[in-house]
Amino acid sequence: MTPNDAHQPLSRDAAVSVRDLRKTYADVTALDGVSFDIGRGETFALLGPNGAGKSTTIEILEGYRNRSSGMASVLGIDPHRGGVDWKARIGIVLQTSAEAGNVSVREQLSHFAGFYPNPRDVDEVIAAAGLTEKAKTRIKNLSGGQRRRVDVALGIIGRPELLFLDEPTTGFDPEARRDFWELIRDLKREGTTILLTTHYLDEAAQLSDRVAVIAAGCLVDMGAVDEIGGAEARIPIVRWRDAGGIHEERTHEPAAVVARLYAQRGGELHDLEVIRPSLEDIYLELVRDAATEVAA
Amino acid sequence: MKTVQLGISRIGYEVKTYYRQGDTVFFTFLFPVVMLGIFSVAFSGLGNVGTNPDGTGGITQAAYYLPGMIAAGILLSGVQNLAVDIAMEKSDGTLKRLGGSPLPVISYFFGKMGQVLVTSALQIALLLAMARLVFAVELPTDPAKWLTFLWVYLLGIFTSAVLGIALSSVPRTGRSATAVIIPIVLVLQFISGVYLAFNLLPEWLRNLASVFPLKWLAQGMRSVFLPDTFETIEPGGDWQYGWIAVALVIWLVLGLIACRMTFRWIRKDR
């Protein structure tokens, strides 16, 4: 979406629609005009370094924070005015877990299920979150990763149309992360719209239909995971070293370049590499460019 | 309808978690019971209170301290319990989570009120049972006295609960909550006739205590549990039922206004 889209009306069909969202604290600009739409059933990931504005954006959409200016619509409602009926249609997994020390996993989920008009089955959710063996354990006695799964379970117990996941897998071991991805794919198959923030690019790549990269309060790029940064950013790089230092050449024909260099030098090249930029490389480049722009 | 149903579900949840918390059970629930035991035993050597000039009559130390401990229990179950509890829930993220769920605020408060009502009723039952069974205190038999008890108790517990909710926004963090709240409650108990005989306090201190609700609550409980002969040594010369009601209602209204103005699911920025 280009900056001009900030002036387009909110999309009524989208699950989430945001236009020119701004948030300023006393002397800090946390969000500096962000616009995007999330379609129904879409999984959308917000990527960005710490302090870029991911959590500010998600908390405005969850109704926890007021925006300074701009427009926002979540399931057709202004989140600032969202009432109990609106909250029954969303699920929230906050960045930090709440202490819910003295109740068991099942007690907590059964209690929260009662808040919603059409909740999921408590035992099914416990199983989906991989907590069946811990169902009778008090939450305070769980490990950090297990508590995080309770958070996720609480986020989906109400059968939300839209699920907010704010860095959901922080502290998970690799196996737990894969189980979690399966759970999210199941939700997706059921048609749940998901807004995810994460530090893990592989997670975004695994789960999301589209990603948006946010840096210093601005949207740097947005698109399918294999498209962000543009085609240019994906052109392979040939890198080698000689007496003059390290050289790089971007090319669609790396083999030809290597052959040419080999012919020119008449021998092996030092530290020769052919690099296909990974999502991480592209992401880091986007974020770095944004930082330089802000500095300039 | 759903709001009431959820409120009832909250009461069950709140009472359950209350009794699972060791420190709350001791410092709020059992504290007055323990104090009644200590005072009754420690001062038993001093003999009866309010005896005739010839040394006969009067009531035991346990009987004398019972009304004060009941009043203190009401204050602790309401003010101390809720102020600390809600301040903790605010800082540990519980309120934020509830605020993002479709639980109505009214149901949340319904749950807190229910928790206070259930736990304080059990606490008073325990105090009365201990007074009667361990210290052989004569409990009132006149139904009129129990009627007085009922309205003073209900007015007192609702006022305490509301003030607890209002005070919960004072501590900046959950960790500082007990440090902020307990001294307030403790000082009130000392100047309001719970631990020290109210008629023996200097007049200026009695006047100061009269600004706060605990003094009136304790006075009301004395009127129920002490013999009528004690009415004459009250600083006011009688039980002053009218003033008890007025003072508690004023605090109830002030508390409700403060709750309405200060309570938020989270500290929302502008």
Q: What is the pLDDT along chain B (270 residues), one digit of tens a residue?
A: 789 999 999 999 999 999 998 877 888 899 999 999 999 988 888 888 888 777 777 889 999 999 999 999 999 999 999 999 999 998 888 999 999 999 999 999 999 999 999 999 999 999 999 999 999 999 999 999 999 999 999 999 999 999 999 999 888 888 888 899 999 999 999 999 999 988 889 999 999 999 999 999 999 999 999 998 888 888 888 899 999 999 999 999 999 999 988 888 875 544
**Under an 8 A CB cutoff, do A84 and B102 touch?**
yes
Asked if A116 and B92 come within 8 Å (Cβ–Cβ), the reply is no
Q: Between A and B, how many residue pairs show a Cβ–Cβ distance under 8 A?
A: 64
C-alpha A18/C-alpha A35 separation (Å) is 5
Query: Does the distance separating the beta carbons of B21 and A64 come in below 8 Å?
Result: no
pLDDT-based confidence at residue A296 (cuts at 50, 70, 90):
low
Q: Please classify residue B133 by burial: count the beta carbons closer than 10 Å to its beta carbon, then call 0-12 exposed, 13-18 middle and 19+ buried.
A: exposed
Report the first-to-last Cα separation within chain B, whole angstroms. Answer: 33
Q: Alpha helices of A14-143 — where are they, by DSSP H?
A: 54-61, 84-87, 105-113, 122-128
- Picking from B36, B235, B230, B197, the residue whose alpha carbon sits closest to that of residue B128 is B36
Beta bridge partners of A270: A241
Is the distance from CB of A208 to CB of A196 less than 8 angstroms?
yes
Selecting from B6, B16, B100 the residue whose C-beta is nearest the C-beta of A114 gives B6
How much is the pLDDT for B220? Answer: 96
- List the end-to-end C-alpha distance of chain A, in Å, as a whole number: 23
d(CA A10, CA A72): 7
Q: Could you say which of A90, A99, A115 has the minimum Cβ distance to residue B92?
A: A99
Question: Cα A214–A218–A221 angle (5° rounding)?
Answer: 55
Contact flag A94-B97 (C-beta cutoff 8 Å): yes
**Confidence (pLDDT) at B189:** 94
pLDDT per residue over A240-292, tens digit each?
A: 888 888 888 889 999 999 999 888 888 888 889 998 888 888 888 888 887 77
CB contact under 8 A, A102 and B21: yes
Q: Is B104 on the interface with A (CB under 8 A)?
A: yes
Copy the structure tokens of residue B161.
Answer: 């609960």
Write the DSSP symbol of residue B76.
I
Detail the DSSP E strand segments found in A39-152.
43-47, 69-74, 90-93
Residue B95 to residue A147: CA distance in whole angstroms: 17
The residue with greater pLDDT, A105 or B58, is: A105
For residue A234, the 8-state DSSP code is G
Exposed e or buried b per residue across A277-292, where buried means at least 16 C-beta atoms within 10 angstroms of its C-beta? bebebbbeebbeebee
